[in-house]
Chains A and B, each alone.
Chain A
Amino acid sequence: MNRNSHTVLHLNLENQSSEIKNHTELAEFLGGYGIGLKLLEQNLEANPLIFSIGPLTAAFPYASKTCVAAAQEQIQSSYVGGGLGAALKFAGLDALVIKGKSLAPLYILIKDQEVSFHKSAEESWKAESFLGQVSFLESAKEPLVDQYFKFSGTWLGENLASRNLKAVVVSGTKSIPIENSESYQKVFKELLSRVAEVETAAANNKSCFACPLGGEHSFEGDKFPDRSLSQFLVSCHLASKIYEDIPTVFACLNALGYSWSHEALEKLPGNAIKLREEIDNRIQVSKRETGN
């Protein structure tokens, strides 16, 4: 695992092709919304749909959400819980870039870094999903992950429908090394002990990966303010008291072997806002040129 490079799976629905690329230029955007924006910028003309996870995904409590972003009429982003982020992480992937439209309904099966495209026979992918430790995103007006976790907003359902993409099924069996095992275990325990700072009471609902709460609002899609560090991590919005704290984030990243400075973390939201403005400008120019 290279902390200075992100592994991205590029998928083209039109010709049902896939390619793994390593992106060193994403490192300065850390993860989640940050790398999602950069991948949007790089692929803007192809109208991509981006799924991205963060450096803490599957490693620390309350930090295993998935960011989804697109830029058609405007930049859209949404966050979802469940096991999708962890499945991507254990597949060795930091992001998915989905381009194009399929002529016929189809689903994508990702097993580690092997990809297969299948005609959408709903029951077949569901049967496969339930047999193993997998996560799946199901297209609907309000798409669901693992049949429970919702995205905020309805734009994703429309985007998936326009592509004829019915489901994305992900399973991963890779192991993630820990750079500093002693400090990792210490930070992990400390974060679990701060459960009272997470803004939901424990309940018996389905939980996101590595979250002990199963809280009342566990299924809800997250929305973050522009300057939120949580959206880069991609942590739970209900745990913002924990993950907006830069020393805590610094300790988590350090335990996993990332060499981020406090200063760089503080600058991150500002850099992403600048990038988003650049993308917005390109979208507006494109609209004027096409007369839309």
Chain B
Amino acid sequence: MSIKQPQKMENCIGCKLCVLACSLAKHNTLGINTPLRIKEKNGQFFSEVDLGTCSGCGKCVQACPRNCLVITKDHES
């Protein structure tokens, strides 16, 4: 499994709690070098996911206070 776009990013407030959760789950450190990235363009936040390194653990989905992220089975190979 992996998180996969399109996400429900219209509710994203850019807190990046998802990125922190991803960093903790993946590296047990705090940082932004994670499979999940939250970026902003023209005042809108959007997510980018490196499907090659995302393990689909779902910690980001649990961490999001606005239920923006969706986990799917589409990435299973």
Contacts and interface: CB of A to CB of B under 8 A. Distances in A.
Contacts of A68: none
Interface stretch (A4-12, A158-166, A205-213, A246-254): A205-213
A152 B31 CA distance: 28
Given A132-B39, A133-B38, A172 B13 contact: no
Given A130-B40, A130-B41, A178-B28, A210 B33 contact: no
Contact of B13 (A61, A86, A147, A205): A205
A58 interface: yes
Contacts of A210: 15-17, 20
Interface residues of A, number: 32
A175 B29 contact: yes
Interface size class of B (residues with CB under 8 A): 20 to 34
A134 B1 CA distance: 29
A4 to B, nearest CB: 19
B32 A90 contact: yes
Contacts of A204: 11, 13
B56 interface: no
A209 B15 contact: yes
A214 B29 contact: no
Contact of A172 (B16, B17, B27, B32): B32
Interface of A: 58-59, 61, 83, 86, 90, 130, 132-133, 146-147, 172-178, 181, 185, 202, 204-214
7 contacts: A130-B41, A132-B39, A133-B32, A133-B38, A175-B23, A204-B11, A213-B13
Interface of B: 11, 13-17, 20, 23-24, 27-33, 37-41, 43, 65
